Amino acid sequence: MTMTEPPLATAEATARLDALLRPPRVVSGITPSGSLTLGNYLGALRRFVDGQTSQQGFFFIADLHATTTEHDPARLRELTLETAGLFFAAGLDARYSTVFVQSHVPAHVELAYLLESTAYVGELSRMIQFKEKGGRPRTRASLFTYPCLMAADILLYETQTVPVGGDQDQHVELCRDVAQRFNREYADTFVVPRLDKAALAARVADLLLPTSKMSKSAPPAAPGVVRMLDSPDTIRRKIARAVTDSRAQVRYDPVTQPGLSNLLDIIAAITHQSPHHVATGFSSYADVKRSCTDHVVEMLVPVQRRYAELARDRGHLVSLLDTGAAEARATAAPVLTRARDAMGLV
Ligand code: AQP
């Protein structure tokens, strides 16, 4: 530290004051573990775009998270650029939001390592994802430690709140525990984020397995998964084959009619109405499917057009990502420095 720099406690206090004075920050990532789905769009991307002028957004393609299980490097490369193209095609604008590839900002990995020296083996082994996918001799060590990477993803950007889906609660709780322990044991370093469940978005289910989430890591041709880049014909075919039931009664009831309710949820999310209200406008399942198809196609076609333009100019896409990474590195650097200093690294 040079004589002109404020002492650590003052630097932290200044950072905390800055955090209170600036527009709220939001940070979120999408793992390039498959081609993005309608669920990723309605549950994440569209919300990123909607909030971008009122919040300072840091949105990243979480390529490092895609390496915790077996993966094909060529496919990861392709999906990383495809996902980035879809972020911009969906409407993220580099004038408002910082869009970057996680591995282009080494502070994520550096802070993750420092947090691994703060987290306990006991708490990492209790993580549901590790319990479900881990425990095999060839389980990657990164699957065990990735909650620390996730905590770093959040803490580096000093967000006050983290909007999360139900399956992510545990990760945010771990992030809070580790940040609080670090602040207590070393020095007050991190802004400890709160969990924000109020901001939860619609959850889109698989069209053929309506009690399961629509997942991008399903096999590429999975018929129950609508991809953001599916052609209108493919979307029409998939929705036409969506599972419903034999009641022939249009009602919104996710427990007894999960397939139909999923289609109503999709229409409701697109049109910003309640699914109960949407249900009152239909008398047959065929009408629901037709309307759902029309809404999805109408919403996705303009995104697909913008994506096609971006995909033609890969150099431009790469330069947008370079700019985003430079901004993210500059934002993350002081937090990483404070953490290093607090831990006694010279
Ligand atoms: N079906 C969904 N409905 C609503 N939102 C969804 N999201 C994912 N699926 C749906 C939201 O998209 C973001 C993706 O986060 P992620 O890449 O960390 O992966 P995930 O949450 O595990 O989602 P996926 O798409 O199902 O990926 P895989 O198949 O790799 O596990 C999050 O904001 C999530 O809420």
The CATH number linked to 300 is 1.10.240.10
Banded model confidence at residue 169, pLDDT cuts 50, 70, 90: confident
Examine the domain organization and report whether 48 and 144 are in the same domain.
yes
- Radius of gyration over every alpha carbon of the chain, rounded to an integer in angstroms: 22
- pLDDT of 130 higher than 90: no
The residue whose CA has the least distance to atom 33 of ligand 1 is 44
- Give the pLDDT confidence score for residue 4 in this predicted structure: 44
Q: Is-contact 40 90, C-beta < 8 A?
A: no
Q: What is the CATH number of the domain that holds 114?
A: 3.40.50.620
Measured in Å, residue 318 CA sits from the centre of ligand 1 at 24
**Structural domain range at position 270:** 232-312
- pLDDT of 166 higher than 60: no
Residue 174 lies in a domain: yes
> Based on the number of CB atoms within 10 Å of its own CB, is 94 exposed (0-12), middle (13-18) or buried (19 or more)?
middle
Residue 127 lies in a domain: yes
Examine the domain organization and report whether 93 and 165 are in the same domain.
yes
pTM across the whole model: 0.92
* Token pair for 86: 């879809």
Average pLDDT, the chain: 91
Residue 216 lies in a domain: no
* Residues known to be catalytic: 133, 213, 216
Examine the domain organization and report whether 163 and 283 are in the same domain.
no
pLDDT in tens, 295-309: 999 999 999 999 999
The residue whose CA has the least distance to atom 24 of ligand 1 is 215
**How far apart are the two ends of the chain, measured CA to CA in Å?**
9
Measured in Å, residue 14 CA sits from the centre of ligand 1 at 35
Examine the domain organization and report whether 175 and 246 are in the same domain.
no
Return the higher-pLDDT residue of 295 and 131: 295
Question: How many domains is the chain built from?
Answer: 2
The residue whose CA has the least distance to atom 8 of ligand 1 is 40
Examine the domain organization and report whether 183 and 265 are in the same domain.
no
Q: Is-contact 262 279, C-beta < 8 A?
A: no
pLDDT in tens, 6-64: 455 555 566 666 666 778 899 999 999 999 999 999 989 998 999 889 889 999 999 99
DSSP states along 130-163: HHHH--STT--HHHHHHHHHHHHHHHTTT-SEEE
Residue 226 lies in a domain: no
The residue whose CA has the least distance to atom 23 of ligand 1 is 215
Residue 166 lies in a domain: yes
Examine the domain organization and report whether 44 and 110 are in the same domain.
yes
- Give the pLDDT confidence score for residue 134 in this predicted structure: 76
Residue 187 lies in a domain: yes
Residue 2 lies in a domain: no
Examine the domain organization and report whether 102 and 39 are in the same domain.
yes
Measured in Å, residue 12 CA sits from the centre of ligand 1 at 34
Q: Residues with Cβ within 6 A of ligand 1?
A: 30-31, 33-34, 37, 39-40, 42-44, 165, 203-204, 213-217
Examine the domain organization and report whether 285 and 266 are in the same domain.
yes
